[in-house]
């Protein structure tokens, strides 16, 4: 027998000492098992090989944004009130998707804009002005959108896109 211990004559402190030793051995076994399974999991991890012929994700996103911006500008250049409204609303949605993609949190675009310090973004005031125009279009049926007001909104969005290097 490895351990020749007479448990009948043990005091409480001796029992606790043996329990402590057993727990230390158990902890050691758990640490070894954790390391073993971690190393096994690393081997199972998928390998990601960069393909130099594939366009980077940011380039793809930029192309997508440029396509959407082109559609917005076509609506704006159409000049009809309905087209102007759609240009402003879609411009706002485009900017909001960029803000979400940047990790800004909030339920609405206004919440995301609130999380930006005015000094962090040169186009901040223009962006807020554009968003307020969009809100007037969406929430106020009596709002009369003129070409100049729509242009103010679109130019605010454009200024932001240039600052973010989406537009040249």
Long-range contacts of 160-168 (CB under 8 A, 24+ apart): 160/95, 160/98, 160/121, 160/123, 160/126, 160/127, 161/65, 161/69, 161/95, 162/123, 163/121, 163/122, 163/123, 164/98, 166/62, 166/65, 166/66, 166/69, 166/98, 167/66, 167/69
> Tens digit of pLDDT for each residue in 57-80?
445 578 888 889 999 999 999 989
Instruction: Report how far residue 147's alpha carbon sits from residue 73's, in angstroms, rounded to the nearest whole number.
Output: 13
Pick from 117, 82, 115, 78: which is nearest to 100 by CA?
Answer: 115
The gap from C-alpha 53 to its chain's centroid, in whole angstroms, comes to: 27
Pick from 113, 115, 138: which is nearest to 127 by CA?
Answer: 113
> Tens digit of pLDDT for each residue in 82-107?
999 999 999 999 999 888 887 888 88
Instruction: Report how far residue 104's alpha carbon sits from residue 111's, in angstroms, rounded to the nearest whole number.
Output: 9
Q: Which residues contact 73 (CB under 8 A, 6 or more apart)?
A: 87, 154
The chain-wide mean pLDDT, for the chain, equals 84
pTM over 0.95: no
Which residue reads 């009809």 in tokens?
Answer: 80
Percent over 70 (pLDDT), the chain: 86
Instruction: Report how far residue 59's alpha carbon sits from residue 129's, in angstroms, rounded to the nearest whole number.
Output: 29
Mean pLDDT of 38-45: 80
């Amino acid at each position: 027998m490895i351990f020749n211990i007479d448990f009948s004559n043990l005091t409480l402190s001796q029992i606790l000492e043996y329990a402590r030793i057993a727990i230390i051995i158990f902890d050691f076994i758990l640490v070894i098992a954790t390391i073993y399974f971690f190393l096994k999991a690393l081997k199972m991890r998928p390998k990601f090989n960069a393909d130099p012929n594939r366009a980077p994700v940011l380039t793809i996103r930029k192309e997508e944004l440029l396509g959407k911006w082109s559609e917005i500008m076509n609506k704006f250049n159409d000049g009809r009130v309905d087209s102007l409204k759609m240009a402003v609303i879609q411009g706002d949605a485009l900017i909001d998707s960029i803000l979400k993609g940047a990790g800004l949190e909030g339920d609405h675009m206004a919440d995301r804009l609130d999380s930006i310090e005015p000094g962090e973004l040169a186009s901040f005031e223009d962006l807020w002005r554009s968003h307020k125009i969009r809100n007037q279009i969406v929430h106020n049926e009596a709002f009369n959108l003129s070409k100049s007001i729509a242009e103010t909104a679109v130019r605010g969005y454009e200024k932001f896109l240039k600052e973010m290097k989406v537009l040249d």
